Amino acid sequence: MDENQALFEQVLTAIFREEFPRWRGDLSRILRVGGKVINGESDRELKRLCRVFFEESGVRWLRYELHTAYWRERYPQDQEEDDDEEEGGSNCYTMTDLLVQRILLAYYAQKKRLKYEQEVDTFPYWRLSVIEDGRAYPECLEEAKAGYRHHADAYWKTKKLPCNRLDCRCSISHSMKPD
């Protein structure tokens, strides 16, 4: 099996186990489309299968519920009118959009991390890189304040990307020096 496909399967399986711990269904259909998506083909089939997954399984997605509650609290007006999608628009994504996005973000984050792990002799310091465009989550900004930490630091032993909230767009940057 292609190593990218193997990584995709590993990441996607981990996401489903974490997000839908009570669901016991079969992931094979979704896993099979992974190769097409990561080879730069359309992610339309992945989206379709994720939509079917939600329809057929009827699972509750706790992280999505937390996500909508968070954005509803911040932008209550967006519930009626969403002509301001650029700024408050995160709550306008569907569950399917956010699941597909989380799968792809996790895959690319893991791929980057594996590459950085091979380069630690030259670039031993890693930092959480946050897009500061007003949509970044406060928890992410807080974590990013620590700047560069050694890759063997306890933080990086447990840190998972994407971060806790849906639509987090953080990534890792690496460096030769602490700052």
Count of residues in contact with Zn ion, rule CB under 5 A: 4
- Burial environment of residue 24 by CB neighbours within 10 A (0 to 12, 13 to 18, 19 or more): exposed
Nearest to 90 by CA among 140, 49, 143, 137: 137
Choose, by CB under 5 A, the member of 33, 113, 168, 174 that binds Zn ion.
168
> In angstroms, how far is the first alpha carbon of the chain from the final one?
40
What's 61's DSSP letter? -
- Is 99 a binding residue for Zn ion by CB under 5 A? The answer is no
Choose, by CB under 5 A, the member of 50, 109, 170, 174 that binds Zn ion.
170
- Is 105 a binding residue for Zn ion by CB under 5 A? The answer is no
3-state secondary structure of 92: helix
| Cβ pair 113, 172 in contact under 8 A | yes
The nearest distance, CB 148 to Zn ion, in angstroms, is 17
User: Among residues 5 and 129, whose Cβ is nearest to Zn ion?
Assistant: 129
Report how far apart, in Å, the C-alpha atoms of 66 and of each of 7, 60, 73, 95, 129 are. 28, 11, 11, 12, 23
Which of the ranges 19-27, 33-41, 147-155, 170-178 carries the binding residues for Zn ion, by CB under 5 A? 170-178
The nearest distance, CB 82 to Zn ion, in angstroms, is 24
The nearest distance, CB 129 to Zn ion, in angstroms, is 9
The mark string for 114-153 relative to Zn ion (x by CB under 5 A, - otherwise) is --------------------------x-------------
How far apart are alpha carbons 27 and 12 in whole angstroms? 9
By CB under 5 A, name the binding residues for Zn ion. Answer: 140, 163, 168, 170
